[in-house]
Amino acid sequence: MENTVLLYDSAEDILTASKLIRKGNVVGIPTETVYGLGADALNPEAVKKIFKAKGRPADNPLIVHIYKIEEADKLGHDIPNIFYRLAAIFWPGPLTMIVPKNDIIPAETSGGLDTVGIRMPSHRVMRELIRLTGPIAAPSANRSGYPSPTSAAHVMNDMNGKISAVIDGGESRFGVESTVISFDDENTVRILRPGSVTSEMLMEHADNVIIDDAILNDIAEGREAPSPGMKYKHYSPQADVKIIDGDFENFCIYVNNNQGINTFCLLFDDDDTNKINCRYVTYGSDSSQQAHNFFAKLRELDSLNADRIFVRPPQKDGVGLAVYNRLLRAAGFEVIRV
Ligand code: AMP
Ligand code: MG
């Protein structure tokens, strides 16, 4: 057991965190997407500690976070022009781009792949930390398979005793992990994980944008996952998550006829809760709010000992697609249409 120190976002505490990371330790860090577990991306022993703390399968690669664009040229090679064009528009921000990796990236960081996912985050604390430290590898700071953390308290809940420190930088702004893309060719972007940089936004800057099949469907049998994370169960609270897709009237009829002892609903803020005969929490009235709240609400439902959650699914475009992708994975891709 390690003593996990809670740090704040002062210059002094960020320097403390940087020293811990440079010495090969793991620190929980705030970003604009979700909280990450950061370690020196170029130090294989440090990176192994991330996998151990999370219980993450060794073949699921880590995203490497950089401070300035020149660092991308050190980490990757044969980087297409479109990478730089998109970086100029969306960085710093919640977009991860996959390119062939250089030897400087240890196999531990890339999960044994010959590519690396690179992102330049915008969160002030994360940026300062990278500036002081160098490239930081950071997956989401949850136990593998569980909902991602969007506050320092969530990270403490999952990681207390397993990592050196957590920096409290407030609630994560977006609440869903970065958009992950690869390039089929110079003008074709493939979205491997939807996020707050949406397909609609990418379409304004690339000729072709493909939403990979595995975003809305379980990985097809016999197909190799283009992103290892697609293979694994993800984002799941303790409770059984059920997506009930249809208008609110039919949602209510279904729920009122199918509840068990500790059933809860996850609703929109503006749903007429008089019509529902079940305990509930709400997660916002538009897709951005729902992205911001989704993981925190799943964690809240765990703390209420929910054993089944009937969820009103978000819109399936814009940022809603990112939330829906997480929800589908939490529900094992099963959708009940009403
Ligand atoms: P997390 O670190 O928890 O945000 O998850 C990162 C996601 O990005 C996982 O689903 C990974 O499989 C994916 N990813 C990271 N690096 C690569 C890469 N080089 N190739 C394909 N997918 C990647
Ligand atoms: Mg994750």
pLDDT band at 111, cuts 50/70/90?
Answer: very high
Name beta bridge partners: 99.
116
Looking at the predicted structure, is the pLDDT value of residue 158 above 80?
A: yes
Q: Is 39 in the pocket of ligand 1 (CB under 6 A)?
A: no
Q: Is 140 in the pocket of ligand 1 (CB under 6 A)?
A: yes
Can you name the CATH fold of 5-215? DHBP synthase (3.90.870)
Q: Is 139 in the pocket of ligand 1 (CB under 6 A)?
A: yes
pLDDT band at 231, cuts 50/70/90?
Answer: confident
- Of the options 3.40.50.11030, 3.60.15.10, 3.40.50.1000, 3.65.10.10, the CATH number for the domain spanning 240-337: 3.40.50.11030
> How remote is the CA of residue 222 from the centroid of ligand 2, in Å?
24
Domain-by-domain residue ranges, the chain? 5-215, 240-337
pLDDT band at 179, cuts 50/70/90?
Answer: very high
Return the pLDDT at 235.
Answer: 84
Mean pLDDT, rounded, for 90-112: 98
Mutation test residue for ligand 1: of 150, 192, 231, 326, the one with most atoms within 8 Å of CB: 192
At 63, list the tokens. 């995203």
> How remote is the CA of residue 229 from the centroid of ligand 1, in Å?
6
Mean pLDDT, rounded, for 152-167: 98
pLDDT band at 36, cuts 50/70/90?
Answer: very high
Mean pLDDT, rounded, for 280-294: 98
Mean model confidence pLDDT for the chain: 96
